[in-house]
Structure 1
Amino acid sequence: MTYDLKPGDVALMGIPLDGHSSFLQGPAFAPNRIREALHCGAANLTAEDGTDLGATDRFKDTGDLDVFEMRGQEPIDRIENEAAARIATGARLLSLGGDHSVAFPLIKAHADRHQGLNILHIDSHPDLYDTQDIGPFGHGCPFARVMESCQINRLVQVGIRTMNKHQREQADKFGVEVVDMRSWHADLQLSFDGPVYLSLDLDALDPAFAPGVSHHEPGGLSTREVIDLIHRFEGQLVGADIVELNPHRDPNGMTAMVAAKFVKEIGARLLMR
Structure 2
Amino acid sequence: MIAIVSAPSNLGLRPPVPGAVPGTSKAPEALREAGLHAALSARGAIDGGAILPGRYVDDPGRGERALRNQGAIIDHARRLASRLVALRGGGHAPLVLGGDCSLIVAAGLASRTTGGAGLVHIDGHTDFRHPGNSAAFGSLAGEDLAAAIGEHVSEIADIDGLGPYFDAAATAHIGCRKDDAELAEVLARIAVTVPADQVISHGASAVAERVLAAPGLSRGFWLQVDVDVLDPEHMPAVDSPDPGGLAPGELVGLLRELAPRAWGAAITVFDPDLDPTGAYARLLAGVIDEGLARLGEDAAPD
TM score, norm. by length of structure 2: 0.74
Task: Determine the structure 1 residue equivalent to 2:33.
Answer: 36
Residue 216 of structure 2 is aligned to residue 182 of structure 1: no
The 3-state SS of whatever aligns with 2:141 is: coil
- Superposed, 1:242-257 pairs within 5 Å as 242-257=267-282
Question: Equivalent residues in 2 for 1:234-245 (5 A)?
Answer: 236-245=261-270
Tell me, in whole angstroms, the C-alpha distance in 1 between the residues paired with 2:25 and 2:287.
18
- Deviation of residue 93 (structure 1)? 1.2
Q: What residue number does 2:102 align with?
A: 101
Cα pair distance change 1:129/1:80, threshold 3 Å: same
Matched-pair identity in %: 23
In the TM superposition, residue 21 of structure 1 has moved relative to its aligned partner by 0.9
Q: Given the alignment, which residue of 47, 54, 59 partners 2:42?
A: 54
Cα distance change of structure 1 residues 69 and 145 upon mapping to structure 2, 3 Å threshold? same
Choose from 140, 143, 146 the match for 2:145: 143
The one-letter amino acid paired with 2:171 is: L
- Secondary structure in structure 2 of the residue aligned to 1:252: coil
Q: Report the AA paired with residue 113 of structure 2.
A: D
Q: 1:61 offset after TM fit, Å?
A: 4.0
Equivalent residues in 2 for 1:19-34, closer than 5 Å: 19-22=11-14, 24=16, 25-34=22-31
- 2:9 is the counterpart of 1:17: yes
Aligned to 1:123: 123
CA distance in 2 between counterparts of 1:26 and 1:162 reads: 27
Q: 1:202 to 1:234 in 2, by over 3 A?
A: closer
Range 126-135 or range 230-239, more displaced: 126-135
* 8 Å CA contact 2:126, 2:180 repeated in 1: no
1:171-210 residue pairs with structure 2 within 5 A? 171-172=186-187, 174-184=189-199, 185-186=202-203, 187-190=205-208, 191=212, 192-210=217-235
Report if aligned partners of 1:30, 1:247 keep a CA contact under 8 Å in 2: yes
Q: Secondary structure at the match of 2:206?
A: coil
Q: Give the letter for the 2:241 counterpart.
A: H
* Deviations, residues 108-127 of structure 1 (Å, cap 9, x unaligned): 31233143x12111111001
Q: Which runs of 5+ in 1 are unaligned?
A: 1-8, 46-51
Distance 1:19 1:66 in 2: 8
From the superposition, tell whether residues 224 and 154 of structure 1 become closer, same or farther in structure 2 (CA, over 3 Å): same
Q: In structure 2, do the counterparts of structure 1 residues 203 and 175 end up closer, same or farther at CA, with 3 Å as the change threshold?
A: same
- 1:265 and 1:80 map into 2 onto residues whose CA distance is 30
Question: Which portions of structure 1, spanning 4 or more consecutive aligned residues, are displaced by more than 4 angstroms?
Answer: 131-137, 162-165
Q: Secondary structure at the match of 2:236?
A: coil
Q: Give the C-alpha shift of residue 164 in structure 1.
A: 4.2
1:83 aligns to 2:81 (yes or no): yes
1:251 & 1:176 partners in 2: Cα distance?
39
Contact 1:100/1:142 (8 A) holds in 2: yes
Q: 5+ residue gaps in structure 2?
A: 17-21, 58-68, 151-163
| TM, length-normalised to structure 1 | 0.81
Q: How many residues in Structure 1 have an aligned counterpart in Structure 2?
A: 253
Q: Relative to 1, partners in 2 of residues 1:173 and 1:209: Cα closer, same or farther, differing over 3 Å? A: same
